[in-house]
């Protein structure tokens, strides 16, 4: 983590990269309005790192971000850019930033965005601040990432609706939620939605044990069930697990995949506040010369974490929730 207290920034660029998440617009809004407040020019970079390479900069002011705090997605748009993973792509991006006199880059996104920021920092002398925007909540250095709360509530709304039809038809539903490498959405929705079981990447779940549990639940009078599946579970996706469970028990399992539905929609109050705080905090840190760091909120306090630690240190699930889940699902 580097600091230069004598630093003075004149031009800031902001981008969103990778998967979109509800609240990104609120973070963009905070960056644009705080830079304006301090008399600093702000440029939005369209389409993430692709826009850095292709010089897609637009100057932004307070009116550029009017009425976006309630919108999902990102007004700057986003992309996944393979060229940015090459030395030639990084050089193009650094040249465009330097040519435009950009002093600081604020990158909003997830793990891939942070990795790109680290690589850019090796060849570009400007300041780089990361802002955690991903529904997966898998970034170390913040209790919650921008978009996570909204994604959980979107999944929970779907689960509540599915319970009605599951109860009416006495069925078992497997609901697949996002989470290729982390089970934060899976565990949170399983707890909040009263699910009977959950498959997440961080734990090993036995198909036979789940099948036996379902049979026991049925004998004890439970005629319908909801099982949450994180897409990255070691047993496979929801369709694969449904086939395995059906083979083990002979019962029919219905599958609902929520997919990208979880990324959309108006952000919750919690995500709007978090995004606003972190966007503003990122500008404050750039102004005092911080670089190579990401912002976050831990234990109610705004904190900084080196980007290298944020991408390499694994964020752990709540051990207490894991401990009590089986008891709650009985």
How confident is the model over 16-56, as pLDDT tens digits? 999 999 999 999 999 999 999 999 999 999 999 999 999 99
pLDDT value at residue 4? 44
Long-range contacts from 270-274, C-beta under 8 angstroms, 24+ separation:
270/144, 270/149, 271/22, 271/23, 271/26, 271/146, 271/147, 271/148, 271/149, 271/150, 272/23, 272/26, 272/69, 272/70, 274/23, 274/144, 274/146, 274/149
Q: Does the structural domain 11-147+267-312 have CATH classification 3.30.499.10?
A: no
pLDDT value at residue 7? 56
**Active-site entry in 103, 119, 136, 138:** 136
Determine the CATH number of domain 148-263: 3.40.50.460
pLDDT value at residue 91? 96
pLDDT value at residue 158? 93
Is 136 annotated in the active site?
yes
pLDDT value at residue 3? 46
Low-confidence spans in the chain with pLDDT less than 50: 1-6
pLDDT value at residue 97? 98
- pLDDT tens readout for residues 209-254: 888 888 887 787 777 788 999 998 898 899 999 999 888 888 888 8
Which residues belong to CATH 3.40.50.450 in the chain? 11-147+267-312
- Cα–chain center distance at 267: 12
pLDDT value at residue 5? 47
Residue 238: which of 263, 257, 214 has the closest Cα? 257
pLDDT value at residue 330? 67
């Amino acid at each position: 983590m580097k600091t230069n207290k004598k630093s003075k920034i004149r031009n800031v660029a902001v981008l969103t990269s990778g998967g979109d998440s509800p609240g990104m617009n609120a973070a963009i809004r905070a960056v644009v309005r705080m830079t304006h407040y301090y008399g600093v020019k702000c440029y939005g970079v369209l389409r993430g790192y692709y826009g850095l390479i292709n010089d897609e900069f637009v100057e932004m002011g307070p009116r550029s971000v009017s009425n976006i705090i309630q919108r999902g997605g990102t007004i700057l748009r986003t992309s996944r850019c393979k060229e940015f993973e090459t030395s030639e792509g990084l050089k193009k991006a650094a040249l465009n930033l330097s040519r435009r006199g950009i002093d600081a880059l604020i990158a909003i996104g997830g793990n891939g965005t942070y990795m790109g920021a680290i690589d850019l920092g090796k060849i570009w002398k400007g300041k780089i601040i990361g802002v955690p925007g991903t529904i997966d909540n898998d970034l170390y250095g913040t209790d919650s990432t921008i978009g996570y709360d909204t994604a959980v509530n979107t999944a929970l709304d779907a689960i509540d609706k599915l319970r009605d039809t599951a109860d009416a038809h006495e069925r078992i539903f497997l609901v697949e939620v996002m989470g290729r490498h982390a089970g934060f959405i899976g565990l949170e929705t399983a707890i909040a939605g009263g699910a009977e079981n959950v498959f997440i990447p961080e734990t090993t779940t036995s198909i036979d044990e789940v099948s036996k549990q379902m049979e026991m639940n049925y004998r004890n009078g439970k005629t319908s069930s909801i099982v949450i599946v994180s897409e990255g579970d070691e047993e496979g996706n929801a369709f694969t697990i449904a086939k395995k469970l059906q083979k083990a028990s002979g019962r029919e399992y219905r599958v609902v995949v929520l997919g990208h539905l979880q990324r959309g929609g108006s952000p919750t109050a919690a995500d709007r506040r978090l995004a606003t705080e972190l966007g503003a905090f990122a500008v404050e840190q750039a102004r005092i010369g911080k670089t190579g760091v990401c912002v976050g909120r831990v234990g109610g306090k705004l904190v900084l974490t080196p980007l290298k630690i944020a991408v390499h240190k694994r964020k752990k699930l709540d051990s207490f929730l894991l401990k009590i889940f089986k008891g709650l699902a009985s």
